[in-house]
Amino acid sequence: MAATMQASSYRVMFRREEFLRFVEIANPRIINHRWRMHFFAYDGFVMYTFECDDSGFTPPIFEAIEFSNYI
């Protein structure tokens, strides 16, 4: 029998100030942008906010093609 592998992550939404503070702590290489959402992956979690714009981020901002929480 073939083993089925499933990957999953948890999404955590932040307000602007907390998101920016967590960006400083996590120091992500890439922050993604999709519509109004900015997000990055950290330790099995997806951290995101709807309250930021592209200015003020030290890591590069990339336009994400897709963002989904489906397995």
Mean pLDDT for the chain? 78
C-alpha dihedral over 56, 58, 60, 62, to 10 degrees? -40
State the Cα–Cα distance between residues 27 and 21, nearest whole angstrom. Answer: 10
Alpha carbon separation from 26 to 9, 19, 21, 46, 51 (Å, rounded): 16, 10, 9, 12, 18
Residue that is written with structure tokens 């489906």 in the block: 70
Which sequence spans correspond to the domains of the chain?
10-63
- pLDDT tens digits for range 32-44: 888 888 888 888 8
Whole-structure pTM value: 0.70
What was the pLDDT predicted at 2? 45
